[in-house]
Structure 1
């Protein structure tokens, strides 16, 4: 049986489509390949974007900003001297882009200007830190990424 070029082209396209569909189904059905959104309720989060930008701008406008550093003990957040520690309220959210199960929140409850997130809670890799806090009725949002070895 002789196959002309038109039939060969149709067979090649059908094989290519089958190949692509096989991998799409394999990735969608295997739990190893997680394709969830990074943030729960993504669209509600996106609707509050303008409010979030105002809080980020408030944090950028500060003369003395909180300092987030990685130390041997873990992640330390130091608030500058003008802030009274027990009047700062909020939370620090740590997001692990590669694994949603490692995400956690830590409330900001201070008696001194330093907040420590222990290294025992942190797995090596990339961490996105979102610090939502309020002082004297003004809301702030500080975002930073840290890589832990």
Structure 2
């Protein structure tokens, strides 16, 4: 009887502790996959000329920040307008490719992405650089809250 009691006690104390990290790992893998899929959708949307859809990964808020060599832009609408002004046609948009160099989940609701972008634009010249994205899980959805592209 003592042996059965020990087994039950062990199961009640140890098994929940073992399952928690596994569930956290599964959630982290799911979140990582979601962010990578969102970045893939962004390149697909960009490469078909859909800037409005490209922007759906960004936080639709006045608190969104976008940092580039042109300075700091605050807000979703201003960022969208800058994209449309800087890339007014398919020739200027070219073909976008992302290389993700680092993706870290800092907390269950905060992620950090470092990557490289390449724009292939035969008519006006290619462009390339690096970016840092801060993602936040807001209302159970991952969105970019800060973008620094150079």
Give the TM-score of the pair, scaled to structure 1: 0.31
Give the TM-score of the pair, scaled to structure 2: 0.31
Higher-helix-fraction structure? 2
